[in-house]
């Protein structure tokens, strides 16, 4: 095919599950299409408005207003101009929880492009603003779902809640999960580290329950003085979390990182005793898949799409609602015998390579032409 256009709220160097998903697809799309365009936003205004990444892949960034770093309202005139300039036969939109994807569907509804939508839908909302935004835009989103030609969900959980929220579009849904990097998996394999370490990776949002990890960590250190915690990520509650860590007098026992390369991230999976993601809102959980694929014992909230990792035997559950005491008990058990909680050498359809995910996605595009 000649060209394809992707629309995503954010794109690297911004980090997050959606950003990773789109970056992995577009990198591989550049080997399949003559021209690959990514239309995204930059609330900071500090990134290049047009960036060529080679192999026909170009990123177009629109300045946006992003209250609380959660919702990106792009400058409409700029978005219209860019969408027209890189119009393609396939338009792949991302994130129902943000503005750019649905807005692009409306603007391009009569363009003649076949539209694919990957909603990354949680089904719940981390803030009253999010809930208000979704309910207010539901009539418009229903029209968007009527217009799109295919809806790709990343988990059975997401497919179920999308079908319930937009029953008229249920027949358009297919499931293609997120992926992991097979080349990195060949280089990294978990074994229990000499000194115990807890790892969290993800966007620092309230619903991720990182505050409860910090409190649990402070309690666990009383029994395990050498225990360390690494928090990888950035987001709107980072300053609150730093303040909490200070109040708990955790000092240098907590390491705060962001902007890591994938190899550095996989090194952390390999060298950690347990990976913890007690989030109650996940459409999939890329970091859980990566940790589990490396073999790192994973502890997750038994809710949303994370329950599918529990069912597949790839993660240990913390029952909802997540509470500090539950985290302390579950992490304690893993610290006592981490090998028995490792998912190393386990296989599951929940974990696929990004190459396979991309191939299935590109087959979907082909079926629409």
The 10s digit of each residue's pLDDT in 59-70 is: 999 999 887 666
Tell me: pLDDT of 110 over 90: no
User: How many other C-beta atoms are found inside a 10 Å radius of the C-beta of residue 129?
Assistant: 13
Residues 288 and 229 in one domain: yes
What CATH number does the domain containing 308 carry? 3.40.50.2000
Is residue 160 located within the same domain as residue 63?
A: yes
User: Above pLDDT 70, what percent of the chain?
Assistant: 96
Residue 43: which of 59, 64, 16 has the closest Cα? 64
Q: Do 241 and 322 belong together in one domain? A: yes
**Residue 13 and residue 155 in one domain:** yes
165 and 218 share a domain? no
Looking at residues 294-317, what average pLDDT do you find? 97
pLDDT, one tens digit per residue, over 216-237 is: 999 999 999 999 999 999 888 9
Residue 131 clears pLDDT 70, i.e. is over it: no
Q: How far apart are CA 353 and CA 358, in angstroms?
A: 9
| 234 plus 293 within the same structural domain | yes
347 in any annotated domain = no
Residues 128 and 229 in one domain: no
Residue 105 structural domain: 3-177+352-367
Q: How many domains does the chain have?
A: 2
Q: What is the mean predicted confidence (pLDDT) over 330-359?
A: 94
7-16, 146-155, 191-200: the lowest-pLDDT one:
7-16
Q: Is residue 68 part of a domain?
A: yes
Return the pLDDT at 54: 92
**Would residue 266 count as lying in a domain?**
yes
- What is the distance between the alpha carbons of residues 338 and 194, in angstroms, rounded to a whole number? 12
The upper half-sphere exposure of residue 102, i.e. CA atoms within 13 Å in the direction of its Cβ, equals 23
- Residues 318 and 260 both lie in one domain: yes
Same domain assignment for residues 164 and 192:
no
Residue 360 has pLDDT above 80, yes or no: yes
Q: Are residues 160 and 216 in the same domain?
A: no
| 193 within a domain of the structure (yes/no) | yes
Question: Minimal CA–CA distance to 343: which of 267, 268, 281, 274?
Answer: 274
Is residue 346 included in any domain, yes or no? no
C-alpha span between 91 and 114 (Å, rounded): 6
Residues 263 and 173 in one domain: no
Structure tokens given for 192:
């229990």
Beta bridge partner(s), residue 60? 39, 50
Q: Does one domain contain both 196 and 109?
A: no
pTM, two decimal places: 0.91
């Amino acid at each position: 095919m000649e060209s394809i256009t992707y629309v995503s709220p954010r794109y690297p160097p911004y980090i997050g599950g959606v950003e990773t998903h789109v970056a992995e697809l577009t990198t591989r799309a550049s080997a399949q299409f003559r021209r690959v365009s990514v239309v995204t936003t930059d609330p900071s205004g500090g990134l290049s408005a047009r960036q060529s990444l080679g192999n026909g892949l170009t990123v177009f960034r629109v300045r946006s207003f992003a209250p609380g770093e959660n919702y990106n309202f792009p400058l409409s005139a700029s978005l219209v101009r860019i969408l027209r300039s890189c119009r393609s036969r396939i338009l792949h939109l991302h994130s129902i929880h943000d503005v750019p994807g649905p807005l692009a569907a409306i603007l391009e509804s009569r363009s003649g492009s076949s539209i694919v939508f990957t909603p990354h839908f949680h089904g719940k909302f981390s803030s009253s603003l999010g809930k208000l935004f979704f309910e207010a835009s539901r009539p418009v989103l229903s029209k968007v779902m009527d217009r799109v030609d295919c809806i790709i969900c990343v988990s059975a959980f997401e497919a179920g809640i999308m079908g319930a929220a937009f029953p008229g579009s249920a027949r358009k849904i297919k499931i293609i999960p997120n992926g992991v990097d097979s080349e990195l998996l060949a280089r990294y394999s978990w074994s229990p580290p000499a000194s115990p370490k807890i790892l969290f990776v993800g966007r620092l949002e309230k619903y991720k329950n990182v505050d409860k990890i910090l409190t649990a960590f402070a309690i666990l250190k009383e029994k395990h003085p050498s225990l360390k915690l690494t928090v990888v990520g950035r987001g709107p509650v980072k300053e609150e979390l730093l303040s909490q860590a200070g109040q708990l007098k955790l000092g240098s026992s907590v390491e705060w990182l962001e902007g890591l390369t994938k190899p550095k991230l996989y090194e952390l999976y390999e060298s950690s005793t347990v990976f913890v993601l007690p989030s109650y809102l996940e459409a999939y959980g890329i970091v859980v898949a990566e940790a589990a694929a490396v073999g790192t014992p994973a502890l997750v909230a038994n809710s949303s799409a994370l329950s599918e990792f529990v069912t597949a035997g790839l993660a240990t559950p913390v029952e909802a609602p997540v509470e500090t005491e539950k985290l302390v008990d579950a992490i304690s058990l893993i610290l006592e015998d981490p090998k028995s909680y490792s998912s190393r050498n386990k296989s599951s359809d929940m974990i696929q390579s990004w190459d396979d995910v991309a191939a299935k996605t590109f087959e979907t595009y082909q079926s629409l032409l």
